[in-house]
Amino acid sequence: MTPADVLHPLSVASSLLHQTDGPFTRELLLEPSGFGLGQLPSRLQPDATTTSVCGFCSTGCNLTVHLKDGAAIGLSPATNYPVNLGMACPKGWEALRVLDAPDRATTPLMRSGRGRLERVSWETALSTFVTRMQNIQREHGPESVAWLGTGQIATEELAYLGALAKFGMGMIHGDGNTRQCMATAVVAYKQSFGFDAPPYTYKDFEESDVIVLVGANLCIAHPILWERVLHNRRQPKIVVIDPRRTETAMQASHHLALKPKSDLVLFYGLARLLIEKGWVDDEFIAQSTQGFDDFCRHVAPYTMDVVTERTGLTAAAIEEVAELIHQAERSSFWWTMGVNQSYEGVRTAQSLINLALMTGNIGRPGTGANSITGQCNAMGSRLFSNTTGLLGGRDFTDPQHRSEVAEILNIPIEKIPDRNSMSYHEILKGILEGRIKGLWVVATNPAHSWINQDQARDILGRLDFLVVQDMYHSTETAQMADLVLPAAGWGEKEGTFINSERRFGTIRKVARAPGEALADFSIFRAIAQAWGCGDMFREWTSPEAVFRIMQRLSAGRPCDFSGIDGYRQLDRDGGVQWPYSAEHAPDEQERRLFADGRFHHPDGKAKFLFEDPRPMPEPPNKDFPLLLLTGRGTAVQWHTQTRTGKSDVLRKLAPERIYVEVNPQDARALGIRPQDQVWVESRRGEIQAQVFITPTVAPGQVFIPMHYATANRLTDAVFDPYSKQPSYKACAVRLRRVG
Amino acid sequence: MPSLLPPPPPSSSPTMSLPMLVEELLREQQALSAVEQFSQYHATTTPAQERYYHSLLPSSPPGPGEQYAFEVDLDCCSGCKACVTACHSLNGLGESETFRDVGLLIGGTSSLPVLQHVTSACHHCVEPACQTVCPTLAYQKDAVTGIVKHLDDQCFGCQYCILACPYEVPQYNAKKGIVRKCDMCSSRLKAGEAPACVQACPHQAIAIRLVKTADVAADCEANSFLPGAPDPQLTLPTTNYKTAKSFPRNMLPVDYYAAHAAHAHPPLVAMLVLTQLSVGALWIRAALPLTGLPVVEHLEPLQAISALLFGLVALGAATLHLGRPHLAYRAVLGLRKSWLSREIVAFGVFAGLASLEAGRTWLQPQMLAAPDWLGWSVLVSGFVGVFCSVMIYHCTRRSTWIGPRTFLRFFGSTVWLGLSTTLLVAAIVAGLRADLSIGSVLHDLGAVLCPALMLVAALKLTYEACDLLHLLERQHTPLKRAANLLVGELAGMTAARFTLGVLGGLVFPAVLWHEASSSHSLEWMSTVVAVWLFSVAGETLERALFFMAAAAPRMPGGLKT
């Protein structure tokens, strides 16, 4: 309708009757926008854009943030970024929505005499923090306070937290929620390669002939990595090894639905088969590895009979995989939580590393023994959280490493502890035993996520002083806190994340934090000052200043990234993978490690590491006849849902309440029908859930997604002896109908 | 070459006091620096994503007999749901508003289980039910592209399209009082850009293709749309779900057994019950002279007035149902095809005629022994109105609403409520007039009306109770799903409905029938009020259940817990 039409009385009358335009129509009307974004609604037209790496998972997708007057009004996946190639999963699309939730912590909160969390000023909060922590330390020694960190904050913040806590505040013990997802991969790589160095780049998904995915449901947990698999033009064979028929298993060419926790036996069996057939790369083994002969002896007993019996697989299926690996020019082995979250995860990860080493599938395009990480900055945490490893992938027990760090940071060497931190579960044990009295929890939610939750909550409840620093005051852990420090979230602060393929990417401040919430970085600055160690952190004034410090810490290390020219270059080059030193600054956007066959052990060789499988700690029996598996439910849910639960759309796309997947055969035997509510009971707890009867879980197994608060009331607190990672994925339960 | 050493001089003074530092940090926190430091001022207007979606769009516009359609490659849909969020974001939809959804089909055996995620949006049907039923002509099927567009400013929020669409596509936006839906991002398509969902699928599972409408019809004839989806014959949906796999025979949506009570639509319930009461009261009034009872002529004026009042309240209630009641007049536009338009017009005419009739009755009661043209036209318009109401629901072709299920309910209520209202009015008239005794009036009238009322009530309640027989069915049909709701989530309401129905339609009419003529007026009065109140309450609950237990057809959905 033109303005002239509007004035015409007939057209006014006709528009009263039949209105083809108006405010509602215009609200959804799309207009061309600049910035290469295509059409957008007029009220969402940006006047500038910037980019930021996503803050959910470790894929590290880059998002184009649409800005208006400096603030974000929308986002879309960045088209050219070498990770996500113009795509994002639903969590990324909704990343801004979760910022403006009503339960954001907007001021510090302190538990009052009446037992309620009440608002206090930052000054009060900081002085309370310092007074109580210092009092505890005075009374019980410096070790009596500890922290639990995260893989969800920027690397600069992780480094600040770790340095502040250990060098400034005198703590010895700190760990992160990365213990729950990546510890196994860290230890496996360190032992095998001599450094925690995931060797791959995502391009390897596209360049592989055989892609072996173990305990990894990419379609749901890493949808953008599945995108990369589908970009593979070599018609790859995709082998999924997973007890469940997952989305990824559905799409695979081969699905080996093995018995839970029989993976180590399977990979030893595969290794034996490859050796027996002579399908190994003798030259690579000789030049680049050590321990192969012992390994051969070790796998000798894993005959096909043993393996088929233990895994429940057919000999033909196993032989076919061996044949595929042999035939293929490039095989790659990928794993996620199905391997990591196990009581023998390190050896299982290493059994995959062994397969890659013995077949020479490493250092070339489309190969590798590749751990896909969980959280957006698990990799940053692995290098710089200063928890179980000293800054820059160093060792606290190595005097040389301590003196390097002391020199670079210009701090007295005595400030650096000469022993390793206790790991997560040892810290909790320390609380239980009264050795740890004060705990500082940063950007994680142990009261929901830690294994055997009732016990974990009981332990947290015993603390003299629990500080929780989080975006939301509503998390299960924040609700238990004595002091809540309100944190700005992703999108409200700056820094870098490191993704699964070792790529640094930047995050941007594109939204104003609510109320008095502060970036974790700023909170650490304020605490340093309040604690009285501000002087030690004189140079730590901004995330980018700390980035430079971290660069100095990395120089000469395997993770050297001293050649990066600040955030500008990260921005310009689509992120940069480590290593990237001043001396060696390659141009390629996608790089892998070990092309020269040299590893990080002093002799330059990778090690074959192995050990006999151990029995499952809690196998099903007569009383608890079913085996409980836990894991990711949908692509729209993240961890304990403290963030994804804040987006209306993401909430709408996920089942609202907890459910348990049950095989039809078990359901029939138990008299359970669709939509029934059941009690799921383990030796530790009993929860109510709705059944979801589906053949995608095998008979004798049930599956519960981890996103719902009660799931971990069932799980059994057992750990890998090397990585101390909890074994979330196998405990015995029983089911009965409610009512 | 970056400068790593030496460390830069400290920017903030180490001697800064803590309160000053906190103040500084809080100030810094609120400053947004991304624009100055990092923003990109691209001059480009070409969509950057074009390189990814180029192959997902048709190379030419639709020719005659063709239209645009979504094509979903099920073999690529992995269930990530990025399409839903991208559509939501790039189209600026409301907080929880989504034009797309992703469902899940499960089947196969334990040794070879099959799961299949299914993304779906509007199917831009060849015969869109939304368009057929819309009373304001707010839906347009584009003559060239075949895209079914909704004119948001034309919509007055009756939500009839939501009841009619088998795929739950139109979404009611309560804040705005209108319905909105997917338009295949028609303005993007026009500019050669891909719809948001097509742009955003990491696996390129969604494409826009040209389809021949004749082919769509032929495919729908073979019912080869998608396992677990509603019968494509209803609307001829154009989306093409393609797969190289063959699904096992037992593929079912994961929400197949999930049934939750639907919205009760209170204004619609009130409107339906009261229009039917009103029409029924006037019908009975017209039939009363056949009884030959002398009291009948005294009833006429109040009977007409009360019927009119209930009718007007009903129409008022109906407008409350509209999201934008001030545009109710637009309903006339759809007269040629929409039963909702016809219902509104029929009841409008009915109300007008009933007003005339009531006025005339009131002014000249003695002249109206037998119905004349006005009287007849009121009766006919009332019938047409109720018939239109029936057709509104019948036309949705939902199993729970089809044919006799709605017809018998609505006309049953009309007679039931007409009879009980007549009894009440008779009692009130007798009470108001000194020359009549309530006892004798009701005794005479009740002898005729009570058995009729009890017969109608018994038949209607029995008919409704027969719905529960579907519980015995082996297959989980929509009717069984509805019956499950009636005895499950809605059990309390169902029990109340039958209790009130038995009391108002059987027990109290029986009491009234056998009341001794010597009884006190108050006893007569309370019995007749009980008959009326229980009847109206019972029928209101029946109508609420009519909506709440209506098992709507739907696309395969996600797991509902």
What pLDDT, on a 0 to 100 scale, did the predictor assign at position B292? Answer: 82
CB contact under 8 A, B152 and A24: yes
Minimum CA–CA partner of A512 in chain B? B30
> Per the CB < 8 Å rule, is B203 touching A79?
no
In angstroms, the CA B476 to CA B258 distance is 11
Residue B1: the pLDDT is 42
Shared domain for B403 and B276, answered yes or no, is yes
Contact B207, B184 (CB under 8 A): no
DSSP conformational letter for A55: S
With cut-offs at 50, 70 and 90, classify the pLDDT of residue B9.
very low
Domain that holds residue B426: 266-548
| Helix or strand holding residue B515 (H, E) | none
The residue of A30, A42, A552, A673 whose CB has the most chain B CBs within 10 angstroms, and thus the best one to mutate to test that interface, is A30
**Inter-chain CB proximity A247 and B115 less than 8 Å:** yes
**Sequence letter at residue A479:** Q
| Inter-chain residue contact B79 with A635, CB threshold 8 Å | yes
Q: Measure CB to CB from residue A510 to each of B32, B86, B101 and give the nearest one.
A: B32
Q: Count of residues for chain B? A: 561
B8 touches chain A (CB under 8 A): yes
Torsion angle of alpha carbons B384, B389, B392, B393, nearest 10°?
-130
Cα–Cα distance between B70 and B77 in angstroms, integer?
13
Residues 325-354 of B with CB under 8 A from A: 330, 333
Contact criterion met (CB < 8 Å) for B45 and A34: yes
- Tell me the CA distances in angstroms from B8 to A217, A538, A540, A549, A552, one per residue in order: 46, 10, 10, 10, 13
Domain boundary among the residues B227, B253, B279 is at B253
Number of structural domains in chain B: 2
pLDDT tens digits, B471-512: 999 999 999 999 999 999 999 999 999 999 999 999 999 998
A418 CA: distance to closest CA in chain B (Å):
26
Class of domain A626-737: mainly beta
pLDDT of residue B155: 97
Instruction: Determine the distance in angstroms separating the CA of A225 from the nearest CA of chain B, rounded to an integer.
Output: 9
pLDDT of residue B43: 52
Amino acid letter, A190: K
- Whole-angstrom distance, CA of residue B436 vs CA of residue B429: 8
**Fold match, A33-99 / A184-372:** no
- Between CA A469 and CA A719 the distance in angstroms is 27
The stretch A206-217 carries a mean pLDDT of: 98
The residue type found at A535 is: D
Based on the domain organization, do B224 and B354 belong to the same domain? no
Whether B242 and B317 share a structural domain = no
Three-state SS letters, A10-35: HHHHHHHHCCCCCHHHHHHCEEECCC
Average pLDDT value over all residues in chain A:
96
Q: What is the pLDDT of residues B427-439, one digit of tens each?
A: 898 888 888 888 8
The pLDDT score that the predictor gives to residue B37 is 66
Residue B304's pLDDT is 83
Give residue-wise pLDDT tens across range B336-380. 999 999 999 999 999 999 998 888 877 765 555 445 788 889 999
Q: What is the pLDDT of residue B551?
A: 85
State whether B304 and B219 are in the same domain.
no
Check CB contact under 8 Å for B2 and A519: no
pLDDT confidence bin for B517, thresholds 50/70/90? confident
Contacts of A39 in chain B (CB under 8 A): 185, 187-188, 191, 193
In a domain, B3, yes or no: no
Q: Which fold has domain A33-99?
A: N-terminal domain of TfIIb (2.20.25)
Q: Would you place residue B259 in the very low, low, confident or very high pLDDT band (cuts 50, 70, 90)?
A: confident
CA-CA distance, B322 to B158, in Å (whole number)? 5
pLDDT surpasses 80 at A622: yes
Decide if B42 touches A, using CB distance below 8 A: yes
Q: Mapped to the 3 state alphabet, what secondary structure does A183-215 carry?
A: HHHHHHHHHHHCCCCCCCCCHHHHHCCEEEEEC
Residue B440 sits in a domain of what CATH number?
A: 1.20.1630.10
Q: What is the pLDDT of residue B521?
A: 83
Q: Distance (Å, rounded) from C-alpha A369 to C-alpha A363?
A: 10
Q: What is the mean pLDDT of residues B160-171?
A: 96
Q: Are B285 and B243 in the same domain?
A: no
Same domain, B212 and B275: no
Kindly report the CATH number assigned to the domain that includes residue B208. 3.30.70.20
Q: Which range has the worst mean pLDDT, A234-243, A480-489, B150-159, B431-440?
A: B431-440
B199 belongs to a structural domain:
yes
- Global pTM? 0.94
Q: Quick check: is B9 in a domain? A: no
Interface A–B counts its CB contacts (< 8 A) at: 316
| Residue finishing a domain among B208, B230, B253 | B253
State whether residue B35 sits within 8 Å of chain A by CB: yes
Interface of B with A in 416-455 (CB under 8 A): none
Residue A633 vs residue B518, higher pLDDT:
A633
Q: Which of B194, B219, B253 is the last residue of a domain?
A: B253
Nearest to A188 by CA among A325, A344, A300: A344
For residue A387, the model assigns a pLDDT of 95
Query: Which pLDDT score is estimated for A1?
Result: 44
Torsion sign across C-alpha atoms B15, B16, B18, B21: negative
- The answer to whether residues B416 and B456 touch, using CB atoms and an 8 Å cutoff, is yes
The amino acid sitting at B379 is L
For residue B30, being part of any structural domain is answered with no
Q: Output the CA angle A423-A429-A432, nearest 5 degrees.
A: 150
Please answer yes or no on whether B38 and A50 come within 8 Å at the CB atom: yes
Best probe of the A interface among B20, B33, B85, B119, by most A CBs < 10 A, is B85
B328 found inside a domain: yes
Beta bridge partners of A68: A71
Q: Are residues B238 and B305 in the same domain?
A: no
Inform me whether the pLDDT recorded for B6 exceeds 50.
no
Residues in chain A closer than 8 A to B204 (CB atoms):
230
**Residues of A with Cβ-Cβ distance to B41 under 8 angstroms:** 48
| Mean pLDDT of the A538-565 span | 97
Q: What is the structure's pLDDT at B372?
A: 77
How open is the CA angle B458-B461-B463, to the nearest 5 degrees?
105
Residues B159 and B280 in one domain: no
CA distance A438 to A465: 5
Chain B interface, best mutation among A131, A245, A701, by max B CB count within 10 A: A245
Contact B4 A492 (CB under 8 A): no
Nearest Cα to A202, choosing from A381, A368, A374, A378? A368
Name every residue whose Cβ is closer than 8 Å to that of residue B276 and which is 6 or more positions away in sequence.
B386, B389, B410, B411, B413, B414, B417, B539
pLDDT of residue B280: 95
User: Cα–Cα distance between A685 and A71 in angstroms, integer?
Assistant: 46
pLDDT at A325 over 70: yes
Comparing alpha-carbon positions, the chain B residue that sits nearest to A585 is B1
- Which sequence spans correspond to the domains of chain A? 1-32, 33-99, 109-181+377-577, 184-372, 626-737
Cross-chain Cβ contact A90/B180 below 8 Å:
no
Note whether A30 contacts B188, CB cutoff 8 Å. yes
Q: What is the mean pLDDT of residues A295-302?
A: 98
Q: Is residue B13 part of a domain?
A: no
CATH class of A184-372: alpha beta
Cβ pair A226:B5 closer than 8 A = no
**Can you give the pLDDT at residue B2?**
47
* pLDDT of B134 higher than 50: yes
Q: What is the ipTM of this complex?
A: 0.95
Whether residue B381 lies inside any domain: the answer is yes
Chain segment A400-446, per-residue pLDDT in tens: 999 999 999 999 999 999 999 999 999 999 999 999 999 999 999 99
> Mutate which of A76, A551, A568 to test chain B, going by most B C-beta atoms within 10 A?
A76
Residues B160, B273 within the same domain: no
Best-predicted range by mean pLDDT (A348-352, B255-259, B326-330): A348-352
Residue B13 has pLDDT above 60, yes or no: no
Between CA B161 and CA B170, with CA B166 as vertex, the angle to 5 degrees is: 40
Class of domain A109-181+377-577: alpha beta
Q: Give yes or no: residues B426 and B526 share one domain.
A: yes
Residue A739 confidence class, pLDDT cut points 50, 70, 90 = confident
Whether residue B112 has pLDDT greater than 60: yes
Any domain includes B40: no
Give how far A570 is from chain B: nearest CA, Å.
11
CA distance A166 to A142: 10
Report in angstroms the alpha-carbon separations of B508 from B382, B409, B526, B529.
28, 21, 10, 9
Cβ pair B2:A224 closer than 8 A: no
